[in-house]
Amino acid sequence: METAKRQKKQGKIFVISGPSGSGKTTLLNKLIQDREINKLLIKSRSLTTRPRRWQERDGQDYFFVSRDEFRRLLKAKKILEWTRYLGYYYGTPRELVEARIIKGGHIGFCLDLKGAAILKKIYPKNTVTVFVLPPSLETLKARIEGRSKSIDKEEVAQRLALARRELSAASDFDYCILNNNLQVALKELKEIVLTHVGS
C-alpha cells in the first residue's frame, strides 16, 4: 500500500484526431503555447517519410526520415503505431511517449483515427481522445486548399473522401470539438486537458 502510494502517478496522453484539415495541428500548436498548458504538456512528434512542407521544421513538426530508416525503426520495435497515408509512412516513436508518461509528464498528439484507437488500446488509463470536427465539408476543402497552395485536385478529393468516412467515427471518442471559431475550440480543448491533468 505504502509503495503504491509513493509510486509516481503516470502522465496523460491527449490524442487529437479528426479528418485532415479539421485543425488538429493548429489547435495543438496553439494549446501548447498557452502559458498554463505550456508547463504541463509537451507535443509529441511523429516520424514521417513524407516531404517537408515549406513551413515545417525537422524535429519540431515531424522527424523526417527516409523509407529505409522508417523500416529499420519498425523492425527494431521503436515505433509504437504507424500508418500509411497517401503513400507516405507516419509513426509514433515509442521512447518519446514512454519516457514522458512514466515520469508523470503529459503528452499531446495529432493522430489519425487508427492511431488514436491504438494508443487508447495500449494505454487505456492514460489516454484521452478528442475528435476535431470541421464546420462543414466545404470549409474543410477550403482549409485543405488554403494550407498548401501546391496541393493537386486529386489529393484534395482523396482527403475529402476519407474525411466523409472518418466523420462517422466521432462518437467513438472521449470528446468531440467543433472547430469553427478557433478561439472557442481552443478554449474547449484547454478545459479538457485541465480537467484530466488535475485529477
List the strands of the sheet with 127-133, edge to edge.
41-43, 106-110, 13-17, 127-133, 175-178
Nearer to ligand ADP, 73 or 177 (CB): 177
Nearer to ligand ADP, 20 or 126 (CB): 20
The CB-of-182 to ligand ADP minimum distance in angstroms stands at 4
The CB-of-59 to ligand ADP minimum distance in angstroms stands at 18
d(CA 167, CA 181): 19
Are 31 and 74 within 8 A, CB to CB?
no
The CB-of-48 to ligand ADP minimum distance in angstroms stands at 13
The CB-of-66 to ligand ADP minimum distance in angstroms stands at 23
The CB-of-62 to ligand ADP minimum distance in angstroms stands at 12
Q: Which residues bind ligand ADP (CB under 6 A)?
A: 18, 20-26, 110, 143, 146-147, 179, 182
Alpha-carbon torsion angle 134, 139, 110, 40, nearest 10: -70
Nearer to ligand ADP, 25 or 83 (CB): 25
Are 17 and 173 within 8 A, CB to CB?
yes
d(CA 92, CA 34): 24
Nearer to ligand ADP, 26 or 48 (CB): 26
Q: At what angle do helices 182-198 and 24-33 cross, to 10 degrees?
A: 60
Handedness of CA 142, 147, 152, 157 (dihedral sign): negative
Nearer to ligand ADP, 30 or 94 (CB): 30
